[in-house]
Amino acid sequence: MEKKTDYLFKNVWTIPNVLSFIRILMIPVFAVLFVKGKMLWAVLVLALSGLSDLFDGKIARRFNQVSELGKILDPIADKLTQGTIAILLFWKFFHASNHTLKLFAWVFLLFIVKELVMLVGGALMIGFGLRPGAAEIYGKAATMTFYIVMIAIMAFGPEVGLFRIGGDYPLFTLPDTVMMVLVVISVILTFVAFFSYVPDIRRQVKARFSPEGKAKARAAKEARAKEKAKK
């Protein structure tokens, strides 16, 4: 009898899964570069992470490399990356000399809270034998918008942008209002994507904790116990 999580470890070593692992490994690299002020390299690492996120799904579908682990690993990589970016930008803007930016820094906490809820919720679903839903069109749109907006901030944002006026490579600075509007748009899309998962989660929870679902779970648990006793 299979364990609740056995289905995750079938067809693991695919190109999309390797790309997701690499994206997770790139997170501390990006964070260190950002904190040390190496913004050019930080932006390049983030752009590379975003491109790998764009192509891993296309590769999975094009070459029939879709896996159950990939459906979970890809959003985990997204959430860890987005949460890290939000924490770093919150920290950066919270210590800004511009009072408006300092107040606006708290908006980034919305991203952090959402990613924590998704990570904890996904772990709980797996623990109860449920399957977190793969990213749909809303999730993909929100993720792509998030990457574009955050790269724009790190490139041209006030007090942080690599190419801002007064920065290392002065070209252009996003006006405060424009930057804040872009972030708010990203927040809205993020929460639209978040609530788009609710119907599927509700359906799975209802099925799992219905009398039939509980009976099936008990039968599976008893079968695992008997199999373990034989060993």
Give per-residue pLDDT as tens, 105-126: 999 999 999 888 988 888 888 7
pLDDT at residue number 1: 40
Torsion of CA 203, 207, 208, 211, to 10 degrees: 150
CB-based contact 57:27 (threshold 8 Å): no
Give per-residue pLDDT as tens, 12-37: 778 888 888 899 999 999 999 999 98
Distance between alpha carbon 189 and the CA centroid of its chain, in Å?
Answer: 13
Domain ranges (residues) in the chain = 6-195, 197-231
pLDDT at residue number 6: 53
Q: Which tokens is 30 given?
A: 């990006």
CATH of 6-195, one of 1.20.120.1760, 1.10.510.10, 1.10.3090.10, 1.10.3720.10: 1.20.120.1760
Per-residue pLDDT, averaged over 179-195, amounts to 93
DSSP 153-187: HHHH-TTT-TTSTTSSS-S----HHHHHHHHHHHH
What backbone phi and psi angles, to 5 degrees, belong to 15? Answer: -60, -45
As a whole number of angstroms, the distance between CA 39 and CA 129 comes to: 42
pLDDT at residue number 217: 64
DSSP code of residue 98: S
Report how far apart, in Å, the C-alpha atoms of 71 and of each of 20, 76, 226 are.
10, 9, 31
Mean pLDDT of all residues belonging to the chain:
82
CB-based contact 90:109 (threshold 8 Å): yes
pLDDT at residue number 228: 63
